[in-house]
Amino acid sequence: MNWFPKYNYILASKSPRRQQLLRSLGIEFQVRIKEVDEIYPEDLLPTEIPVYLAELKARSFLPELKNGELLITADTIVFLDNMVIGKPQDREDAENLLRKLSGKEHQVISGVCLSSLSKQISFHAVTNVQFKHLSELEINFYVQSCRPFDKAGAYGIQEWIGYIGISHIEGSFYNVMGLPVQKLYEEIQKF
């Protein structure tokens, strides 16, 4: 049974996690990539940042979007102590980011934009994530073995650090992986 409205779905993301989640949802899609400078106005609220970036990504595809296509763009940020925590630059940066997250709660906020020729909607999801206090050994082992350099906040909840380090979450687990799948499902049904 096909649960989804008839569209040619396009995922504009090179993230293997987003691709895996969308595939697991049962959507057949193609991947299209464009490099976009992820720059946003400084006066945005934390929940507005990933939505703005998802819409920015969508704008670059709109001129070539065809009838019957549904474009999915997304962005995810980690928000800690009133600051956006991005992807680490290198190993040392990844270790420092994990030290900052250690023993604290932070928010993972994803913004998603759905675009067709006739319509566009955007939404966000927030998940609160609590880390236990991480030892230097745990941090070093994780960064060395999993190399989380392509992940906001320098961690993947579905990896070793998530197994041993995350003591509590409130909200969508899959949002922390980069795509709020349940909310996406609902929004596609309404689209």
pLDDT tens for 12-34 read 999 999 999 999 998 999 999 99
> What is the tens place of the pLDDT at every residue in 106-160?
999 999 999 999 999 999 999 999 999 999 999 999 999 999 999 999 999 999 9
Q: Provide the pLDDT for residue 34.
A: 93
Residue 141 lies in a domain: yes
Residue positions annotated with a catalytic role? 75
Q: Provide the pLDDT for residue 3.
A: 72
Number of H helices, E strands in the chain: 7, 7
Residue 21 lies in a domain: yes
Tally of domains in the chain: 1
Which domain range does residue 137 map to? 8-190
Is residue 115 helix, strand or coil? strand
Report, as an integer, the average pLDDT of 60-75. 96
Look at strands 166-170 and 120-131 and give their pairing.
antiparallel
Look at strands 83-85 and 69-80 and give their pairing.
antiparallel
Q: Provide the pLDDT for residue 149.
A: 93
Residue 3 lies in a domain: no
Q: What is the CATH number of the domain that holds 162?
A: 3.90.950.10
Q: Provide the pLDDT for residue 5.
A: 76
Residue 19 lies in a domain: yes
